[in-house]
Structure 1
Amino acid sequence: MRSSLVIVTGLSGAGKTVTLRALEDADYFCVDNLPSSLIYGFIKLTALRSEKIAVGIDIREKSFLRGIDKIIRKLRDNYSLTLVYLEAETDIVIRRYKETRRPHPLAKAAKGSIEKAIALEQKMLKFLRDEADSIIDTSSFTPHRLRQHITATLGGLSSDYFKFTIISFGFKFGIPQHLDMLLDVRFLPNPHFVDELRPFTGLDEPVKKYIFDSQVTADYIVKIEDLINFLIPMYKKEGKSSFTLGIGCTGGRHRSPAIVEKAAEFSKKHDIATEVIHRDM
């Protein structure tokens, strides 16, 4: 039986270290930052004693791109390869670097500009992104949620595994990337304009009562339930392993979280993994 091989690559600050640790916990033999000239030989040797191997490659090894196209194709010919590319929105990557106070690996080449460093890295990694079997946008993920996602999708769960992710957000903070579908709830009654409700969120009972007492909300919830009940079986029939739905209001604190929590209940009858993310709350 051919060894299962995962190559983890992508933008610096997008979560490669967290991903490799999650794979290690799922019994993968993991190694990070190998020079390109050593990758194939290492995997060939490791495959003799491990059926699950994960390798992290990135631009910290400045020469790793040399011949990487031939290496990837050779690995595809000899192993069950899954190439995972991690990315995140530029402002998210910048924020992560500011929080950790670590320099970007290409900061010197970009003359200290992190925006230019990210753009340069995206250009350098274009081949790997184009070759990727899975592109994961980690912008909305905490490290804990990323671990859960990797464990669910790459950790060896059954082939009929399906995950429904539903994200609340505020349009004024931007739309999450890589949604499968987006719903707008800005036409629903807005608790922000009720002084006594403004401090609360869409998870609090006074706000939920205000929103769901509206007939417009009740009508829309019926349509959302019908939509979810229709789409999940269709996505599974198509062979998809996930469906990501974004629901947005203006600020992402009141209406969208309340509607997301209600919509998440509709997935229970389908016996699937469901993850709720309140991005801006």
Structure 2
Amino acid sequence: MDFLIVTGLSGAGKSRAVDALEDIGFFCVDNMPPKLISRFAEIALQSGGKMTKVAVVSDVRGGTLFNDFQSELDLMQQLKIDYKLLFLDCSDEILLRRFKETRRRHPLIDQSDASLERAIEAERALLVPFRARADYIIDTSNMALAQFRERINTLFLENPSASMQINCMSFGFKYGAPAEADLMFDVRCLPNPFYIDSLKYKTGLDADVNEYVMAWPQSVLLLQKLVDLLDYLIPLYMKEGKSQLTVAFGCTGGKHRSVTFAEKLYAHFSEQNLSVSVNHRDISKT
């Protein structure tokens, strides 16, 4: 089990870290009282493999409960529960700006004479020992959201190229275009197997339909151009932190040409070791 404990300065991006971790398959719990961390870790270990990637966030929002954080980390070591500690840092100047922009209330503002500067200073002093024992430190001061997500993916994914889930979809325009499509390609420009009696009631999952669709030079050239385009676009989407991409191929009924192209792209992305799935929305409709 990968068990990650996240802490750090208020306003440094712990909520964004949770979002990024959830997108790569972590079971996340925010604002957990320190005393519950070891108990929760034991529950996760006893889940029978249902919880293999877990992240919990614990910080000064817990008030006096956070006083137990140090002893709880020590207890985790005594219990021989393997964990990693991620600390999120940020400059005072950026934190001041973020709190003023969001108008969020700092957790220590009441103990700091209503001074945001003093609250940040007090929290930083309180967190010194945890920053020192952190396995990972991310300074988010000048880090864009996409860069932050990329950093999380690099640290906690065995295969960072799997950070974005790609869904190859086929559909029929006669049933309406899919609202969830990020990229949509119309393949009705290609010869239609529907008009071949032996292929009419088959689908692009059948070898003879697949062979018919790809027997035409324009089909081969279109597929190559789409592969080239998507091979160029996908790394750009990943760099910007996109977690899901739906590539949809449409033909008239969603059974022949669109299915063939969705399957071809699915095979191509699978060979590149990307996280990809395929979905034929209208293949069973009459």
Task: State the TM-score, normalizing by the size of structure 2.
Answer: 0.52
Asked whether the equivalents of residues 7 and 81 of structure 1 are also in contact (C-alpha less than 8 Å), the reply is yes
5+ residue gaps, structure 1, are: 159-274, 277-281
Does residue 37 of structure 2 align to residue 39 of structure 1? Answer: yes
1:233-248 matches, within 5 Å, as none
Does residue 140 of structure 2 align to residue 138 of structure 1? Answer: yes
Q: 2:124 aligns with which of 122, 125, 129?
A: 122
- Residue 86 of structure 1 aligns with which residue? 88
SS in structure 1 of the partner of residue 62 of structure 2: coil
Higher mean C-alpha displacement, 73-82 vs 83-92: 73-82
Does residue 147 of structure 2 align to residue 149 of structure 1? Answer: no
Distance in 2 separating the partners of 1:46 and 1:58: 21
Asked whether the equivalents of residues 58 and 66 of structure 2 are also in contact (C-alpha less than 8 Å), the reply is no
- Residue 98 of structure 2 aligns with which residue? 96
Distance in 1 separating the partners of 2:107 and 2:136: 24
Counting aligned pairs with the same residue, the percent is 36
Provide Cα deviations, 1:135-180, integer angstroms capped at 9, x if missing partner. Answer: 111011122321221122123337xxxxxxxxxxxxxxxxxxxxxx
- Residue 19 of structure 2 aligns with which residue? 21
Distance in 1 separating the partners of 2:58 and 2:157: 19
Q: By how many angstroms is 1:117 displaced? A: 0.4
The count of aligned residue pairs is 159
Asked whether the equivalents of residues 5 and 85 of structure 2 are also in contact (C-alpha less than 8 Å), the reply is yes
Asked whether the equivalents of residues 87 and 130 of structure 2 are also in contact (C-alpha less than 8 Å), the reply is yes
- Residue 234 of structure 1 aligns with which residue? none
Distance in 2 separating the partners of 1:145 and 1:57: 23
- Residue 110 of structure 2 aligns with which residue? 108
Q: By how many angstroms is 1:46 displaced? A: 2.1
Asked whether the equivalents of residues 8 and 59 of structure 2 are also in contact (C-alpha less than 8 Å), the reply is yes
Asked whether the equivalents of residues 26 and 156 of structure 1 are also in contact (C-alpha less than 8 Å), the reply is no
SS in structure 1 of the partner of residue 56 of structure 2: strand
Asked whether the equivalents of residues 41 and 81 of structure 2 are also in contact (C-alpha less than 8 Å), the reply is no
Structure 1 pair 104–67 and aligned structure 2 pair: CA distance change class (3 A): closer
Does residue 71 of structure 2 align to residue 73 of structure 1? Answer: no
Larger fraction in helix: 2
Q: By how many angstroms is 1:80 displaced? A: 2.9
Asked whether the equivalents of residues 15 and 143 of structure 1 are also in contact (C-alpha less than 8 Å), the reply is no
Asked whether the equivalents of residues 111 and 119 of structure 2 are also in contact (C-alpha less than 8 Å), the reply is yes
Q: By how many angstroms is 1:79 displaced? A: 2.9
SS in structure 1 of the partner of residue 67 of structure 2: coil
Structure 1 pair 47–21 and aligned structure 2 pair: CA distance change class (3 A): farther
Asked whether the equivalents of residues 35 and 63 of structure 1 are also in contact (C-alpha less than 8 Å), the reply is no
5+ residue gaps, structure 2, are: 161-238, 241-286
Distance in 2 separating the partners of 1:43 and 1:80: 9
Asked whether the equivalents of residues 87 and 135 of structure 1 are also in contact (C-alpha less than 8 Å), the reply is yes
- Which entry has the higher C-alpha Rg, 1 or 2? 2
- Residue 52 of structure 1 aligns with which residue? 53
SS in structure 2 of the partner of residue 109 of structure 1: helix
Distance in 2 separating the partners of 1:62 and 1:43: 22
Provide Cα deviations, 1:10-58, integer angstroms capped at 9, x if missing partner. Answer: 0000000101111111111110111122111112112223111101011
Q: By how many angstroms is 1:107 displaced? A: 1.0
Amino acid in structure 2 at the alignment position of 1:104:
H
- Residue 257 of structure 1 aligns with which residue? none
